[in-house]
Amino acid sequence: MSDGGHPGGATNQGLVQSHGVSLGCGTLILIALIVMIFSNAGRDAKKDLEPLKKQLDVIEMRLTRVEKMMIDKLKEEQRQKLLDKAQKK
């Protein structure tokens, strides 16, 4: 059977679809930490992880700052809306 054994001569060629995977930054950092821990069995893991911990601390501080800016902006927008409503009355 030269038709791949499928009725009507149809084959599965060209029907295979690939699905991409998207990983977030936190997931990639977690994977990197796991790989680092298990690949450095004979080394001082605490010493090796120190630069990553510092980077995570910096990222956390930046994220906190961005969250605060967003909250402040939302509060200002809400305050401005209330003022606009009060002026229309």
Please check whether residue 38 is in contact with residue 31, taking contact to mean a CB–CB distance below 8 angstroms.
no
| pLDDT at residue 77 greater than cutoff 90 | yes
How far apart CA 54 and CA 86 sit, in angstroms, is 48
Q: Please write the tens of the pLDDT for every residue from 29-75.
A: 888 888 877 876 556 667 778 888 899 999 999 999 999 999 999 99
Domain boundaries, the chain: 46-89
Q: Which residue has the higher pLDDT, 17 or 84?
A: 84
Nearest to 1 by CA among 49, 9, 48: 9
Q: Which residue has the higher pLDDT, 77 or 34?
A: 77
- pTM, entire model: 0.45
